[in-house]
Amino acid sequence: ASVFQNVAQAPEDPILGVTVAFNKDPSPLKLNLGVGAYRTEEGKPLVLNVVRRAEQLLVNDLYRKKEYLPITGLSDFNKLSAKLILGSESPAILENRLATAQCLSGTGSLRVGAEFLTKHYHQRTIYIPVPTWGNHPKIFMMAGLSVKTYRYYDPTTHGLNFKGLLEDLSAAPNGAIVLLHACAHNPTGVDPTQDQWEHIRQLIRSKNLLPFFDSAYQGFASGSLDTDAQSVRMFVADGGDCLVAQSYAKNMGLYGERVGALTIVCKTTDVARKVESQMKLVIRPMYSNPPIHGASIVTTILKDRNMFYEWKLELKAMADRIISMRRQLYDAVSARGTPGTWNHIIKQIGMFTFTGLNSKQVSFMTSEYHIYLTSDGRISMAGLSSDKVPHLADAIHAAVT
Ligand code: PMP
């Protein structure tokens, strides 16, 4: 008998498991709206032209080596990433009081940030919104933080439960860490308004809570990199501490390259240098140093004016296609006279629509219409195309009537 005889079969990941089930379905009608990855109108994964161009340059550069990167990754990548999220005029950058490390996409950046906080921050409690991306509680728990929640989504309005959010953060212990989605909240697609962000900022600062931003969709929500970074910049502008985890999975389509960054903004240069030295001690025993290829692509694009411009156009085209899918789905559902209100399809932001469909309705759509989505009723608008809209609208209509 194997020494692993008694290992229990683990359940499929709730999000990635949707694709496993989708792949097994032989129906030609099948539609995968589960996974958060961009698809073209033809339903195909997309490699951006500017990414292909950057890769060509890298391949043709005979001087490129495959040496190890430093523990915190490519230094140009780190500077450019911080500038991208904080803005080139950011006081934190001008005053040189931040520490950035290239990490393994958004997930790795969150994990390194969480491990750092467990070791070096006095408060081990992190507040995460309800609902949130399913991996968040696990990332923070595994890093040794204690996870609590704050109210975020109001199912009756399909919008923000702003009052509940303020109450819960007001009741949080002094110094607690607060996870905030920088934009395009996953899974709800509901973001605070500018005014609401300002309220949240004041509350967080007045209670000395520590903001930890997860920025997985910069540019993907509105089509503008600057607009989608406003929440983070508002917090950095007040001079306080904060953490930001960035991902290039969605906005550069570099999913499998695992490229992202963790930035810790501090109040002084001296503190930032010490923080950086401790970040290295967190990273070294985890994976030693990050991979070189994805970060080289990003750096090539960000440091070249023309390539940066080309990227922004391609990013906007992706965001616009998603926004147009929202409109088309909303029109199709309205045309069918489907019971209920569906404004939230066009009001919500980013990759996902939180439909309000319950798990029974979702199972029905999967078994009867071969449409795959997570059981919380979240659909990836990026997986939808014009020709599939009628089929999806039919399924939603049938599910709720
Ligand atoms: N945070 C949020 C809110 C996400 O939706 C995702 C991707 N689904 C991530 C972080 C991390 O993704 P990745 O590790 O691929 O960058």
pLDDT tens string, the chain, 401 residues long: the values are 999 999 999 988 878 788 888 999 999 999 999 878 999 999 899 999 999 999 999 999 988 889 999 999 999 999 999 999 999 999 999 999 999 999 999 999 999 999 999 999 999 999 999 999 999 999 999 999 999 999 999 999 999 999 999 999 999 999 999 999 999 999 999 999 999 999 999 999 999 999 999 999 999 999 999 999 999 999 999 999 999 999 999 999 999 999 999 999 999 999 999 999 999 999 999 999 999 999 999 999 999 999 999 999 999 999 999 999 999 999 999 999 999 999 999 999 999 999 999 999 999 999 999 999 999 999 999 999 999 999 999 999 999 99
Q: What pLDDT, on the 0 to 100 scale, is given for residue 389?
A: 96
Task: Dump the DSSP string for 212-247.
Answer: EEEES-TTTSSS-TTGGGHHHHHHHHTT--EEEEEE
Is residue 222 within 8 A of residue 192, CB to CB? The reply is no
| Three-state secondary-structure class, residue 266 | coil
CA–CA separation, 48 and 254 (whole Å): 9
Whether residue 36 has its Cβ less than 6 Å from ligand 1: yes
Residue 377: which of 335, 334, 342 has the closest Cα? 342
Q: How many angstroms separate the alpha carbon of residue 348 from the centre of ligand 1? A: 18
CA–CA separation, 355 and 72 (whole Å): 40
If one residue of 128, 152, 186, 246 were mutated to test the ligand 1 pocket, choosing by the most ligand atoms within 8 A of its CB, it would be 186
- Specify the ligand 1 atom closest to the Cα of 108: 14
Q: What pLDDT, on the 0 to 100 scale, is given for residue 51?
A: 98
Q: What pLDDT, on the 0 to 100 scale, is given for residue 85?
A: 98
Q: What pLDDT, on the 0 to 100 scale, is given for residue 14?
A: 78
pTM listed for this prediction: 0.96
Collect contacts of 73-79 with beta carbons under 8 A, ≥24 apart. 73/101, 73/102, 73/103, 73/261, 73/289, 73/290, 73/295, 74/102, 74/292, 74/295, 74/296, 74/299, 76/299, 76/303, 77/102, 77/261, 77/295, 77/296, 77/298, 77/299, 77/302, 78/102, 78/261
- Specify the ligand 1 atom closest to the Cα of 15: 8
Q: What is the largest CA-CA distance in the chain?
A: 64
Q: The tokens of 30 are what? A: 């099948």
Residues 6+ apart with CB under 8 A from 274: none
Q: How many angstroms separate the alpha carbon of residue 28 from the centre of ligand 1? A: 30
Residue with CA closest to ligand 1 atom 7: 216
Whether residue 245 has its Cβ less than 6 Å from ligand 1: no
The residues that bridge with 125 in the sheet, in sequence order, are: 146
Total residues belonging to the chain: 401
Residue 250: which of 19, 34, 38 has the closest Cα? 38
CA–CA separation, 157 and 172 (whole Å): 25
Residue 380: which of 305, 329, 314 has the closest Cα? 329
CA–CA separation, 122 and 270 (whole Å): 19
| Three-state secondary-structure class, residue 100 | strand
Q: The tokens of 260 are what? A: 């992202």
Q: The tokens of 18 are what? A: 């949707």
If one residue of 19, 135, 254 were mutated to test the ligand 1 pocket, choosing by the most ligand atoms within 8 A of its CB, it would be 135
Q: The tokens of 359 are what? A: 């798990």
Q: How many angstroms separate the alpha carbon of residue 317 from the centre of ligand 1? A: 21
Q: What pLDDT, on the 0 to 100 scale, is given for residue 15?
A: 80
Residue with CA closest to ligand 1 atom 8: 36
Q: Which of 133, 376, 388, 394 is catalytic?
A: 133
Based on its alpha-carbon atoms, the radius of gyration of the chain, rounded to whole angstroms, reads 21
Whether residue 106 has its Cβ less than 6 Å from ligand 1: yes
Q: Count the Cβ atoms, other than its own, within 10 Å of residue 177.
A: 25
Q: How many angstroms separate the alpha carbon of residue 139 from the centre of ligand 1? A: 11
User: Is the four-CA dihedral 168, 245, 207, 198 of positive or negative sign?
Assistant: negative
Q: How many angstroms separate the alpha carbon of residue 46 from the centre of ligand 1? A: 18
Amino acid at 152: Y
Q: What pLDDT, on the 0 to 100 scale, is given for residue 147?
A: 98
- Beta strand pairing call for 242-247 and 260-265: antiparallel
If one residue of 247, 258, 287 were mutated to test the ligand 1 pocket, choosing by the most ligand atoms within 8 A of its CB, it would be 247
Q: Count the Cβ atoms, other than its own, within 10 Å of residue 164.
A: 15
